[in-house]
Amino acid sequence: MSHSIARTCSNCAASVPPRTDRCPYCGTWFEEGPALPSSSVSVNPQAGEFGWRGRVFWGLALTGIGGLYWWGWRFEDTQYWLDTRAMLVWTLALPIWLAAVACAWRTWWGAWLGIGLGVVIFGTHLGVMVALDGHFFDDQAGIAAMIAGAGLAGWTLGRVLHGAIRRARARR
């Protein structure tokens, strides 16, 4: 099947080049329809990249992040702030989780969400440390920045993987 005009994917609204049978962004296959030059056969538009519904995806993502934060704070030494177990949770487990979430994130603005998420992680972590200490130290800002940077790196890795998967799907 070939098409000579460019169109928009009805599933994700991405621009689809002419003579393309499949959306390069979401993988939706196109087929000829009786009334239009093309119509798409796709998953539910509310479904995530791997078919997860939006509410399920958000619930899973936020539960994972909340659980990791709870786990990290259980280990944290509030006198020293760099307990090895807590740092492993926040600089290894949290970025891996965020990479998985970002990889499954379907929308194009997912990359921008990572920056906002980094700011929220920084503010949350710094706020908790200041609240527990009762005053601000510059070391707290550095620790919060390190954890936010690790989270942003995990998210960025996930978006890169998402793009690679999307390109591989489009080539099929």
Q: Are residues 17 and 64 in the same domain?
A: no
- Greater confidence (151 vs 53) lies with 151
- Greater confidence (43 vs 115) lies with 115
For residue 49, being part of any structural domain is answered with no
Residue percentage of the chain with pLDDT more than 90: 35
* Encoded amino acid at 72, one letter: G
Residue 67's pLDDT is what?
92
The secondary structure of the chain as a DSSP string is: ---SS-EE-TTT--EE-TT-SB-TTT--EEE--SSSS-EEE-S-TTB-TTS-BHHHHHHHHHHHHHHHHHHHHHH--TTTS--HHHHHIIIIIHHHHHHHHHHH--STTHHHHHHHHHHHHHHHHHHHHHHHHSS--HHHHHHHHHHHHHHHHHHHHHHHHHHHHHHHHHH-
In 3-state terms, what secondary structure has residue 48?
coil
Q: Are residues 29 and 58 in the same domain?
A: no
Tens-place pLDDT, residues 108-153 = 677 778 889 899 999 999 999 999 989 998 899 999 999 999 999 9
Q: Are residues 60 and 1 in the same domain?
A: no
For residue 123, being part of any structural domain is answered with yes
Q: Are residues 72 and 106 in the same domain?
A: yes
Q: Are residues 86 and 167 in the same domain?
A: yes
Q: Are residues 38 and 123 in the same domain?
A: no
For residue 154, being part of any structural domain is answered with yes
Q: Is 16 exposed, middle or buried (0-12, 13-18, 19+ CB in 10 A)?
A: buried
Split into its structural domains, the chain has a count of 2
> Residue 70 sits in which domain range?
54-171
Q: Are residues 79 and 31 in the same domain?
A: no
Q: Are residues 25 and 60 in the same domain?
A: no
For residue 128, being part of any structural domain is answered with yes
